[in-house]
Amino acid sequence: MTSGVPIGVPAGAMPPAPTRERPRSPVQRPGRVGEESARIDGVPKVRGEFEYSSDLWMDGMLHGATLRSPHPHANIRRMDTSEAEEMAGVHAVLTHEDVPGRKVYGMEIPDQPVLAWERVRYQGEPVAVVAADHPETARRALEKIRVEYEVLDPVTSAEEAMREDAPKLHLSGNVLRRVKVLHGQPAGATAEVVVAGEYEVGMQDQAFLGPESGLAVPDGRGGVDLHISTQWLHIDRDQVAESLGLAPDEVRLTLSGVGGAFGGREDLSMQIHSCMLALETGRPVRMVYNREESFYGHVHRHPCKMRFEHGATRDGKLVYVRAGLVFDGGAYASSSNAVCLNAATFACGPYDVPHAQIESHMLYTNNPPCGAMRGFGAVQACFAHESQMDRLAGALGMDPIDLRLKNAIEPGMRFPFGQEVPHPAPVREILKKVKDVPMPEEQELAGRDPRELPGGVSNVTRGEGVKRGVGYAVGFKNIGFSAGFDDYSTARVTLAVEGGEPLVRVHTAAAEVGQGLVTLQAQIARTELGVERVAVEPADTRVGSAGSTSASRQSYVTGAAVEGACAAIREHLFERVREELGGNGDLSLDGDEVLSEGRVIVSLVDLLGDEEIEETLEYHHKETHPLDENGQGDAHLQFAFAAHRAVVEVDTELGLVRVVEIATAQDVGKIMNPQALEGQIEGGIAQGLGLALMEEIQVKSGKVQNASFTDYLLPTILDMPSVRMEILELADPEAPYGLKGVGEPPTISSTPAIVAALRDATGQPLTRIPVRPEQMVGISSKPPEEPPHPGSAGYAEIGRLDERPEH
Amino acid sequence: MPAFERAELTAELKVLTSGEDGLRGEIEAAKTAAGETGLAHEAGPETMVLAGGRREVLDAATRVVEAALDAGASGVELKIEAQGDAPRFGPT
Amino acid sequence: MEFIQPLNLAEALEAKDAHPEAVPIRGGTDVMVGLNFARSRPAAVLDLSRVEELEEWGLEDGLLRVGAGVSYTRIIEEIGGRLPGLARASRTVGSPQIRNRGTVGGNLGTASPAGDGLPPLYASDAEVEVVSTRGSRRIPVADFISGPKRNALAPQELISAFYVAEAGGPQQYSKIGTRNAMVIAVCAFALALHPESGRVGTCVGSAGPTPLRAEEAERFMRGVLEEGGLWESRGAIPEAALRRFGELVAGAARPIDDVRGTAEYRRHSVGVLARRALGWAWDEYRGVRGAA
């Protein structure tokens, strides 16, 4: 390794191509699989000492900034960068002409310009990038770039995009994907009881706290090292290399501290831009989006409109489901294809449905691009199917839980998309469990601490208008990548004596985004090799791909890769023991020693000596298959189920809410780390609560109205109730340790459970989420049509992108 | 092509113009033809990509090349990439 | 950008006289947002955080004089007993960190209709003291806030304090937000009972271009209380009168539709808040247990 430039130390004689010190990998003493194991990065994060990607620093680095389109739809007539280039302190001003390789990128379909050339398709689309010696200089240089736009009418909804006369946003039209699922004989199906409903989901944001940021360092030989927070290093690497016109091995990525992801970091943001600037200037270039820019810098959860019809027998057995789902994909493809497929396959919910006809459409519009977010298509579908189940229960005069129990899908049945329901699929068990959790006691309203009332510290009620409501929902989701994708992970594990004790080093490219994989990998190594000390190496592209930290897949896929590599080392050790010591009994590893029939026969220190054992293993999960033209196929790897019960109190006169408690039952296969599991479940529920009650990017005429945490509201600790958990450990025989992915299910059915409870309290239909106070008091079912006027604070103080001075 | 692009064949076409300004017509003609095939997306000011099954991409590429030449383009750069495991996914 | 940091009020006033374009900054909870979002790039910033005179409060001629630099946290902790309405409003401002930095002086300077510190000042007829090298003047708060984001401050002047009477009766502040903490008001309502004068002070926040007194509601309720001899008898206010009061307050609002809520909802909810707040305040006046 070349000599590093330490952080914060004056550079002195700067080498021509400085490199960053590789981050250290601290030694952990983790628990075994299943044991409580504290995060190695927990204390540094709480103390503010953890290095996030926005903290990256190198002496001599430049600061990048991005010029973005103020218009959701426009032709670029002319661009003049000369004035910006002449500014003191400005080192580079780059446009599409300077993209050395492929001028577009994208995970599924490379349709998104690295920098726009003649047309912009959403507000905030990058048009030019600047590197300067100070962030403020870079921002001022952006104002000196003259762009002449011919503003076009934006296509602002999926319905509009579908019209014959809609402008074509891409060469082959506005329909991005259509997935149809046909099951049984839906065409002629009739039923004794029929309920129909229309549902709508607003645009949620991942709202990770660490903004898009990274540091690109040129290597002096034409290549570049990028330190970045992302979810999948290798897919970033491949896309960056393509657009830089470099070979993949000339672009090396190292994971930096990730401040949350939730799907929003699967797509590229500043990766190519910072590398272009670094290669152009020969200097390290850091780019850090601010909070507002972050809202324009990543994809969001798809807004969706859904029309459902459920038919059932008089005694509550489902006969058919017909559904049409229309998703607004925004300006570019991102992972919309897969979201469209997921929603189609999960539209009926975890129920036995004899006949189904599902159509899921994904459209291009001039709204912000949408893509991956926790729950990935299952969230929207679950809100609709669970709302429908409640509506059906109402029509039948049945208890909503009984209706669900009666129709719960079981192992051996077939999902509407044709795949056999694998064992375990404990829909009934989790519904019963969540129902049996004792109800929280009804507290006296008078004399409560205001924080325990709707409105909290805002002092709006002392019990007036407050009604309690209870709601249930169940949901499910595929774990891992589906529909034929060769989904794999790579682990390199080494065992050696370091500092007089055995130490396992685990090296993968799997992104730790806060979920706890850094601990889990260590736990697995500890368990498999019986070694007390484990160091998890920084994730980077020196090792093979680990796939994406998404689809709740890393514990499964990277977990299996680490387990497999450890097993290979173990076998290697046992062979040595048999050869050198002649033992042939049942060997095992524990406490840094090799045991035979439970008795210590040699310590690892003695056995290893100076030798280092290294094994690399690539784990590919079981093959999946794409859907055929009728939406039939063994598309998914694993299914995870969760059920939620929400108890709420609503001030029915004001439409303000206190969620009293969430109870959940979830099958996780195996509890790998209790603390991490609780964190995932509580965090996922908080995100589901946010979608139910407050989180929405409001877009009017293609323009974002609330790109700030002042007006994009996230739940605070006072909005989040305590969670009671019932965890099932029904092992999946095909998964490592029997585990199931846990990250997404908490988000999926918590939202409809809360909305069901709100309906119970208010008697309002509440068909759109997030539910606004207006809807709960029956004033309006929709947010205002008119764009807001400045004057009541907030965005008016901050200003909007489209109101900025334009040149 | 990285990522999920599972098309059996991907054709990247770059329209070469005679070098004078105001000859966007050649590119527009190629883009229109590409759009009509239903397989296209833009990949740069003069570049478009066709992705899909082998036969349909080759047919579409021919049509786009013809449209560009008919409109007066001096040439078309064509790069075709095949995806190794695409047959698993059938025609797209 | 010039950065000026006076160490006392005299220096601050001289600096403001020499640099009338300088933007005063104290807690920074508004100004820094503007700077960070590159919304404003003032030529000069006048940092008042070292001017200790602004942090003082005390009684002066029978009125409380509260320095413009007293933080919300200190208002709650030190003056909360004397100004319960303002203290309630202060508790709803942002997070603990924001309350440690933010000041009522900042609310007055920004003059946003959503400023939580403002409605209680209206409901209790507070006056704003502004100073310059040429002297000081006192302006009723409703005149000081001259429009949305506008105030009566002259370029050479600084906000030094506000004057308000100690509460002579119960006070309330309630606000609507779509989450239960750390939220900017969708709308708000402040109420102050003035038993000594028989008046009911009100103010609607965040439902108009400026905070708005609900004068008709005030007159109506003053009449109800007088007519029924309720101040003396401490008898209950008839339910119908409470409702009418709420309607009149709702009628005084001049709300708009925006990202935070619709005009219709604002009007509706401010009426509900007014009715409830008056009920609580009156119960407290009557000595109903648990009403405060």
User: What is the per-residue pLDDT across A733-745, written as a single tens digit (0 to 9) for each?
Assistant: 999 999 999 999 9
Cα–Cα dist A155/A169, whole Å: 8
Chains B and A touch (3+ CB pairs under 8 A): yes
Q: Dig out the tokens for C231 from the structure.
A: 């101040």
Q: Is the pLDDT of residue B3 over 70?
A: no
Chain A from 578 to 617: CB within 8 A of any C CB:
none
Predicted pLDDT of residue A805: 41
Question: From C258, which residue of chain A is nearest by alpha-carbon distance?
Answer: A788
The Cβ of residue A98 has, within 10 Å, a number of other Cβ atoms equal to 17
Sign of CA dihedral A548, A550, A556, A559: positive
B51-71 burial string, b = 16+ CB within 10 Å, else e? bbbeebbeebbeebbebbbeb
pLDDT beyond 80 at A788: no
Interface contact B2-A106, CB threshold 8 A? no
Chain C environment of A788 (Cβ under 8 Å)? 256-259
Continuous segment of H or E residues that includes residue A683: helix A674-693
Distance to chain A for B43, nearest Cα, Å: 5
Q: Give the pLDDT band (50/70/90) at residue C152.
A: very high
CB-nearest to A460 from C34, C36, C176 is C176
pLDDT in tens, C117-141: 999 999 999 999 999 999 999 999 9
**Residues ≥6 apart with Cβ < 8 Å to A648:** A468, A469, A470, A471, A657, A658, A659, A660, A754, A757, A758, A761
| Gyration radius of chain C over CA positions | 19
Crossing angle for the helix pair C239-252 and C215-227, to the nearest 10 degrees: 160
Contact B6 A484 (CB under 8 A): yes
Question: Percent of chain C beyond pLDDT 90?
Answer: 93
Chain A residue nearest residue B7, CA to CA: A109
- Whether B78 has a pLDDT exceeding 60, the answer reads yes
pLDDT number for residue C37: 78
Yes or no: say if A390 and A766 are a contact pair by the CB < 8 Å rule. no
Nearest to A5 by CA among A54, A57, A41, A47: A57
Q: Say if residues C164 and C83 touch (Cβ distance below 8 Å).
A: yes
Length of chain B, in residues: 92
Return the domain boundaries, chain B.
12-84
Residue A440 carries which side chain, given as an amino acid letter? P
Which residue of chain A has the CA closest to B14?
Answer: A102
State how far the Cα of A366 lies from the Cα of A256, in Å rounded to an integer. Answer: 32
Q: Judge C/A contact: 3 or more CB pairs < 8 A.
A: yes
Average pLDDT score, chain A: 93
Tokens linked to A590:
């524990």
For each of the domains in chain C, give its residue range(s) and CATH number, in order of start: 2-111+126-164 (3.30.465.10), 171-286 (3.30.390.50)
The structural architecture, per CATH, of the domain A488-620 is 2-Layer Sandwich (3.30)
pLDDT at A781 > cutoff 80: no
User: In this structure, what DSSP letter does residue A188 have?
Assistant: T
H/E segment holding residue A536: strand A534-536
pLDDT-derived band at A11, boundaries 50, 70, 90: very low
Residues from chain A that touch C182, judged by Cβ atoms under 8 A, are 716
CA distance B48 to chain A (A): 9
pLDDT in tens, C11-51: 999 999 999 999 999 999 999 988 887 778 899 999 999 99
Q: What is the secondary structure of A627-673 as a DSSP string?
A: --TTS-S---SEEEEEEEEEEEEEETTTTEEEEEEEEEEEE-SS-S-
Q: Measured between CA atoms, how close is A475 to chain B, in angstroms?
A: 27
Cβ of C182 under 8 Å from any chain A Cβ?
yes
The tens digit of pLDDT for each residue in A401-420 reads: 999 999 999 999 999 999 99
Mean pLDDT score, A9-13 = 40
Question: Quick one: which of A478, A548, A486, A542 has its CA closest to A513?
Answer: A548
Task: Residue A508: name the closest of A352, A647, A395, A616 by CA.
Answer: A616
Q: Closest Cα of chain A to C263: distance in Å?
A: 9
- Under the banding of pLDDT at 50, 70 and 90, the label for residue B22 is low
Helix H or strand E encompassing A326:
strand A318-328
Mean pLDDT value across residues C153-179: 97
Residue A796 scores a pLDDT above 50: no
Nearest CA in chain A to B38: A172
Nearest CB among B3, B34, B90 relative to A238 is that of B3
What pairs with residue A191 in β-bridges? Answer: none
* Four-residue CA torsion sign, C8, C10, C14, C20: positive
Whether pLDDT at A88 is above 80: yes
Read off the pLDDT band of A792 (50, 70, 90).
Answer: very low
User: What CATH number does the domain located at B12-84 have?
Assistant: 3.30.70.930
pLDDT at B21: 56
C240 in contact with A at a CB cutoff of 8 Å?
no
B2 vs A: CB within 8 A: yes
B41 interfacial to chain A (CB closer than 8 Å): yes
Question: pLDDT per residue over A520-570, tens digit each?
Answer: 999 999 999 999 999 999 999 999 999 999 999 999 999 999 999 999 999
The residue among B36, B37, B42 with the most chain A CBs within 10 A of its CB, best to mutate, is B42
Q: Where are the beta strands (DSSP E) in A572-636?
A: 587-590, 593-596, 599-603, 613-620
Q: Give the three-class secondary structure for A474.
A: strand
Closest Cβ–Cβ partner in B3, B41, B88 for A170: B41
